[in-house]
Structure 1
Amino acid sequence: MLTGSNANSIYDSIAGTNKKMLDELNNELSKKYKSEAYTFHSLVDYDDFISGVEQAIELHSINLTVIGTNGATGAKEVIFGSNTLQLIRSVNCPVLTVPENYSFSSIKNMLFSIQKSNDPFATKVDIIKNMLKMHPCNLKVLELSGNITTSLDREDSETIKALFPNQAYEYYFLNTDLGLTAINTATQLLKIDLHAVYSEKETFIKRLLYGSEVSRLSYDTLVPLLFL
């Protein structure tokens, strides 16, 4: 049985080094970006990854979570998920994934991809609107549908117009599912700098039988990808 002092000693020995490194990084970033309109704060939590992030989101009223991806793939990643995939699937907060070795450039074109069957995304676009205020750029909306037997209007719906009543945007339509090839093709052709996508939660059975579209998107995207 551990006493309070022993428990604290174990915590300090495990988290102390990481906390020191994080504090040093925090100080470095604070000095480097001291003229910017934001501040840095370091947090250390002795917990599993997802639980720690969820607690931080709740405690500090976090609006956006940012995490890097390293391009690792494989059956284990597809089924069980890396930290990035677990974050996308689990937390009730938009997640911005940044590809490994990606170099920041100013945002000139933002892409918002949706599927014809997606209705719940209407409550998720506030983060996009806030980003557009901070980084004025061209907004492009890409609507996808894999139902080739249905005749669909090639103009944006009233639902999409209602989402961005005061924001000019360009509308595009593709008669295909939300897949990596379609997304990366659109990203290149439209010269996209930031891509936002509404992703429905995937069940374990679906991932086991069919693989994970979210994993393919998060690992192989060409630009930062925002999961709503």
Structure 2
Amino acid sequence: MKKILMPTDFSTNSINALKYAVSLFKDEECTFYLLNTFTPVLYDTEYILYSTTQPGLEEIYRENSVKGLQKVKKRITSKDKNPKHHFELISAFNLLIEEIKDQVKEKNIDLVVMGTQGATGAQEVLMGTNTVQAIKKVKCPILAIPSEYEYTNPDNILFPTDYELDYSSQQLQLLKDIIKNYDSRLNILHVLTKEELSPEKEQNKKKLATQMDSVKHQFYSKEKQALTEAIYDFQNEHPTDMLVMINNKHSFFENLLFRPVINKIGFHIKVPFLVIPSGKYSS
């Protein structure tokens, strides 16, 4: 049974992300943990003083949090009668990213699904601060859903890679599950910075091919082009229903998402974006 953590602030974006996850895993046994975190507005230094004279403040916030979670659950389950899906509610007095890390470790979560925040253009969505922080700090696959994205089966999946990793079965298992469930096609994209791959990268490419030999896949390469441009161009040239990347620190991924300029303008995500951490999960 898959364990899926769904942080929600009760916004349209977060509920849309939950709807996507419910649809994506409609044929699998899943427990969806709906998480809402809260801290009083006067948290910081003032909260300590204020809470001594208002001992019920935290209880009021928790009550509102629980009611909000119950409404979200009712909204989803009223339409999703799937007997394979189970829902649990978590209301926590904590900062969001810290609580996500705690829940991932405590419950051995398989996937965290989050909605992105705010459209910056007709087809562009700004990656929210919480999503970026979760990708950086949470050792668990993160699936980010663009706001207002309408569910489409992931028939075509784009997987940009620099072949820096010795791909493990654990890293690729969730991706392979999705591909097998939908008979998806995996398009593996590499941006060439040199004419030839190093022997190590060539070996990693061969290992990736072996890992994916049971699913439909094809390798592509683009020469001397910025990674973001290569991704955008590929999506314009080929049908793409999901973008998948492995978060390998000190690699092209870190440069792509975490440079100041990228943080400022956002990463232009048009489709659901699955980020898989390198190394061990849930630690």
Q: CA RMSD in A?
A: 3.3
Give 1:159's aligned residue: 207
Q: What is the percentage of aligned positions where both structures have the same residue?
A: 20
Code of the aligned partner of 1:11: E
Where does residue 238 of structure 2 map in the other structure? Answer: 190
Give the SS at the match of 2:144. strand
Secondary structure, counterpart of 1:41 in structure 2 = strand
Q: Distance in 1 between matches of 2:247 and 2:134?
A: 13
Q: Give the alignment's TM-score, normalised by structure 2.
A: 0.65
Matched, 1:227 2:275: yes
Q: Report the secondary structure of 1:18's partner residue.
A: helix
Matched position secondary structure for 1:42: strand
Residues 186-211 of structure 1: CA distance to partner in whole angstroms, max 9, x if unpaired?
A: 122111001101123369xx79x953
Structure whose residues are more often strand by fraction = 2
Would the aligned equivalents of 1:71 and 1:219 in 2 still touch at CA under 8 Å?
no
Partner of 1:168: 216
Determine the structure 2 residue equivalent to 1:112: 159
Q: Give 1:29 shift.
A: 0.9
- The offset of 1:139, in angstroms, is 1.6
In structure 2, what residue type is equivalent to 1:119? L
Return the alpha-carbon distance in structure 2 between the equivalents of residues 21 and 46 of structure 1: 14
| 2-structure distance, mates of 1:46, 1:168 | 45
- Corresponding residue for 2:139? 92
Contact kept in structure 2, 1:97 and 1:224, CA below 8 Å? yes
Amino acid at match of 2:142: V
Q: Check whether the contact 1:69–1:218 (CA below 8 A) recurs between aligned residues.
A: no
Supply the distance in 1 between the matched residues of 2:265 and 2:165 (Cα, whole angstroms).
21
Equivalent residue, structure 2, for 1:69: 116
**Aligned-residue offset at 1:21:** 1.0
Give the counterpart of 2:260 among 196, 202, 211. 211
Using the TM superposition, name which of 18-27 and 119-128 deviates more.
119-128
- Which moved further from structure 2: 121-130 or 86-95? 121-130
Distance 1:52 1:210, change over 3 A: closer
Instruction: Give the TM-score, by structure 1 length.
Output: 0.79
Matches within 5 A, 1:31-46: 31-35=78-82, 37-46=84-93
Check conservation: 2:191, 2:230, Cα contact below 8 A.
no
CA contact (8 A) 2:167 2:208 kept: no
Shift of the 135–23 alpha-carbon distance from structure 1 to 2, 3 Å rule, reads same
Contact (CA 8 Å) 1:196, 1:226: kept in 2 or not? yes
Change in Cα spacing, 1:57 to 1:178, as seen in structure 2 (3 Å) is farther
- SS in structure 2 of the partner of residue 106 of structure 1: coil
Q: CA distance change for structure 1 residues 210 and 157 in 2, over 3 Å: closer, same or farther?
A: closer
- Provide the secondary structure at the position in 1 that maps to 2:148: coil
Q: What is the deviation of 1:216?
A: 7.9
TM superposition shift of 1:121:
4.1
1:176 deviates by 4.0
**Alignment: residue pair count:** 213
Asked if 2 retains the 8 angstrom alpha-carbon contact of 1:69 and 1:98, the reply is yes
